Chains A and B, each alone.
Chain A
């Protein structure tokens, strides 16, 4: 069975492929995701990057990328460790402050317990850690009927609300 992901609250076959670096011939298939610096290097070299996304780490200074993000169909955020919260801020900035409309994907140490928070900062695509049961994980989206943030304070933003 093809590897699966959670996308917009459903389990579907993975639509993105994460690459460790640029292929030797410099030709990148649509649907691939390149590490940020490889993506930038290829772009600077004039390569065709249609349909290719980029991935970011927690320590990336993403403010420099604001101008180019509109060009990519997906931004992947790496969570190296369950307890590392930096990408939550990246997601919030990309989705909410900058109004990015493509997919925001997380990968790495992603357990079901993070889903509800990640969803709410604007992540809509999840490559879960290998051992996670994806269908059971969907339960995370139904846990809460409302939240405090992102609506007027105290007004309880409704469940479906996302930072976008």
Chain B
């Protein structure tokens, strides 16, 4: 993986010193809260309901065991013993004191981590396909490109005061595992007729108040132009994005107002204005960074090993885990193993410090020291040999990280909601817990097939409810928490499953009615489904009306 060199490390240290000074000025009253806010946000610090929340950047979701150990330490020492993995592959602490933040950042810097640009109106953490480098359907290992973009956006002087936040996602598989079509910029590796790999560039996707699926601005961009092209887009946005109304300030509104044709013209003109020598990334630099990601020594014996399969017959739990949480990698005998953070009785995405320590040790033993955080709020190991599957399973099981529910209804995405977030209208975590209680029987859950439930505690849509097969949105109805249910959304996987915004089913239901409504939705599904047809396919085929009739009839 990309290892910080001396300059990277110094850069992070210097950033912390700058921030330390800003905190001191705030505490001394030299900076008003209004002035301090954008500064602390650029360093990932939010003021929440009960305390400060600090969001740690995990570039493209990739972590080392050393970093995960440090995250465990910070959870233990400065928080309440746990952290929370977000849909943007970052990790949040919800119980932080302002005074502690410079020291926490200093601890993070010891392992090359920071909280830069995890919030604020700047280019945020670049998210990526968590299976990058090993995915069986991989067209391009996008990690070097994600790293190049990471470097490019870090304190980019021109783009620290954008109209609004800016999110970039990048995906290299035939299947999109990074939700690129609901990002401000989405980059997807594609092969053209000549067999050359380039990026298809999407722009103007996003959720929040005005959900919008991105449009294609460039069909096949040469890989090496990706930075200059992103720059041209950012420049158009910085100048022309709305600054008079924060609800209309995202790039999707600008793209919508201009139309994609006009927007593309503007971007192309800006791209032409970039001096020619700066349009392509230096091939040597690409080669150097690529080399850093490409070094795992694969064990040739892994391919022929089948010893773990014998256990399937006698151990149903292990069998389920292999089926649901393990995928083949592109190297024979190697597997991608998902560590489920969707355990009963725990908020989706939460992980305790003792689990973080354990995960770090397991990564050292079985995964070349790597850990990946995923968009679905889980963790992942990507280099697991067949020979190690059983031992890894046993260890994960002991830690409560082997719940075999990846991709099922239990694998819900959920924002922090009323429990933490000061913007929330409703508690999303308790509803997730209620759904989890009701749908605890794995046989029932497997029978339902893949169902993606996504839940947000308010219209800001941090839980991506618009793109859930089933989306649940908390709203406030005359002071009482209610939940709006929508069906048929998708974050988009490929051309056969494009991104789509879920359709609202009807009037919002009270908290204690959510599980009932969900049961009714699933009754219709069971009745109308043919064979193993998936939930979202049924919704696409029959529309939301039959569901509506049954839920509200």
- Listed in ascending order, the chain A residues whose CB lies under 8 Å from chain B are 58, 82-86, 88-89, 92-93, 96-97, 111, 113-114, 116-121, 139, 143-149, 152-156, 163
- In the assembled complex, the CB of B224 is this many whole angstroms from the nearest CB of chain A, namely 11
Q: How far is the CA of A97 from the CA of B273 in the complex (A)?
A: 7
Which A residues are CB-close (under 8 A) to B11? 144-148, 156
Partner of B155, one of A58, A86, A97, A147: A147
Q: Does B49 contact A (CB under 8 A)?
A: no
In the complex, are the beta carbons of B273 and A93 less than 8 A apart? yes
Nearest A residue to B147 via CB reads: A154
Q: List 16 A-B contacts (CB under 8 A).
A: A58-B239, A83-B38, A85-B121, A85-B159, A89-B238, A97-B273, A113-B39, A143-B14, A143-B17, A144-B18, A145-B10, A148-B155, A153-B148, A153-B227, A154-B288, A154-B289
Q: Mark B145-168, 1 if CB is under 8 A from A, else 0.
A: 000100110111111111100000
Chain B residues 1-25 with CB under 8 Å of chain A are 7, 10-11, 14-15, 17-18, 21-22
A144 cross-chain contacts in B, Cβ below 8 A = 11, 14-15, 18
Q: Does B553 contact A (CB under 8 A)?
A: no
- Measured between alpha carbons, how far is A153 from B282 in the docked complex, in Å? 8
* Chain B residues near A (Cβ < 8 Å): 7, 10-11, 14-15, 17-18, 21-22, 35, 38-39, 121, 148, 151-152, 154-163, 227, 235, 238-239, 243, 273-275, 281-282, 285, 288-289
Nearest 7 pairs between A and B by C-beta? Answer: A85-B161, A120-B157, A117-B157, A156-B7, A148-B151, A88-B158, A144-B14
Report the Cα distance A113→B156, complex, angstroms: 14
Assess the A155–B285 pair: CB atoms within 8 A.
yes
Which residue on A lies nearest to B281, using beta carbons? A153
Partner of B151 from the list A111, A121, A153 (CB cut-off 8 Å) is A153
- Smallest beta-carbon distance A77→chain B, Å: 13
Q: Do the beta carbons of A85 and B160 come within 8 Å of each other?
A: yes
Q: Are A153 and B22 in contact (CB under 8 A)?
A: no
Residues of chain B within 8 A of A152, CB atoms compared: 282, 285
Number of A-B residue pairs at CB separation under 8 A: 95
Do B14 and A82 touch (CB < 8 A)? no
A120 surroundings in chain B (CB, below 8 A): 157
Nearest chain B CB to A140's CB is how many angstroms away? 8
Contact between B285 and A89, CB atoms less than 8 A apart: no
Q: A115: shortest Cβ distance to chain B, in Å?
A: 10
Q: How far is the CA of A154 from the CA of B151 in the complex (A)?
A: 6
B residues in contact with A117, CB < 8 Å: 155, 157-158, 160
B522 CB to nearest chain A CB (Å)? 46
In the complex the two chains form, what is the Cα distance from A113 to B119 in whole Å? 17
- In the complex, the chain B residue whose C-beta lies closest to that of A92 is B158
Alpha-carbon distance between A114 and B22 when the two chains are bound, in angstroms: 12
Contact of A153 among B7, B18, B152, B158 (CB under 8 A): B152
CB distance from B160 to the nearest CB of A (A): 5
A contact residues around B162 at 8 Å (CB): 85
In the complex, which residue of chain A has the Cβ closest to the Cβ of B121? A83
CA distance A143 to B15 in the complex (A): 8
Chain A residues near B39 (CB-CB < 8 A): 113
Q: How far is the CB of A19 from chain B (nearest CB, A)?
A: 26
Minimum CB–CB distance from B229 to chain A (whole Å) comes to 14
Q: Which residue of A lies closest to B288 (CB)?
A: A154
Query: B161 to chain A: which residues have CB within 8 Å?
Result: 82-85, 88, 114
User: What residues of B have a CB within 8 angstroms of the CB of A111 in the complex?
Assistant: 35
Find chain B residues with CB under 8 A from A92 CB: 158
Q: How far is the CB of B498 from chain A (nearest CB, A)?
A: 32
Write the chain A residue with the least CB distance to B236.
Answer: A89
Determine if B14 and A89 form an interchain contact, defined as CB atoms under 8 angstroms apart. Answer: no
- Determine the residue in chain B with the shortest Cβ distance to A99: B275
Alpha-carbon separation in the docked complex, A4 to B16 (Å): 30
Given A143-B18, A149-B152, A153-B151, also A88-B157 (CB < 8 A):
yes
Q: A148-B151, A153-B227 are in contact. Are A116 and B157 (CB under 8 A)?
A: yes
Say whether, besides A85-B238, A86-B239, A113-B22, A154 and B148 are in contact (CB < 8 Å): yes
Least CB separation from A139: chain B residue = B21
Distance in Å from the Cβ of B436 to the closest Cβ of chain A?
41
Question: What residues on B are CB-neighbors of A139 within 8 Å?
Answer: 21
Contacts of B281 in A (CB 8 A): 153
B150: nearest chain-A partner, CB-CB? A148
A83-B38, A88-B238, A154-B289 known; A118+B157 contact, CB < 8 A: yes
Q: Nearest Cβ distance between residue A93 and chain B, in whole angstroms?
A: 7
Closest to B286 in A: A153
Smallest Cβ distance from B29 to chain A, in angstroms?
A: 12
Q: Chain B residue with minimal CB distance to A119?
A: B157
Q: Which chain A residue has the least Cβ–Cβ distance from B149? A: A153
Measured CB to CB, the closest approach of chain A to B170, in angstroms, equals 16
**Interchain CA distance A60-B35 in the complex, whole Å:** 26
- Complex Cα distance A163/B148, Å? 20
Besides the known contacts A58-B239, A147-B157, A153-B152, 10 further A-B residue pairs in the complex with CB atoms under 8 A apart:
A82-B35, A85-B162, A88-B159, A92-B158, A96-B275, A117-B160, A143-B14, A144-B18, A147-B11, A148-B156
Given that A121-B157, A146-B11, A153-B285 are known contacts, is A89 also in contact with B17, CB under 8 Å in the complex? no
Which B residues lie within 8 Å of A88 (CB)?
157-161, 238
Q: Measured between alpha carbons, how far is A89 from B232 in the docked complex, in Å?
A: 11
Residues of A with C-beta under 8 A to B148: 153-154
Provide the bound-state CA to CA distance between A80 and B141, in Å.
Answer: 43
Closest chain-A Cβ to B11's Cβ sits at a distance in Å of 6
Q: How far is the CA of A8 from the CA of B151 in the complex (A)?
A: 27
Shortest CB distance B495–A (Å): 32
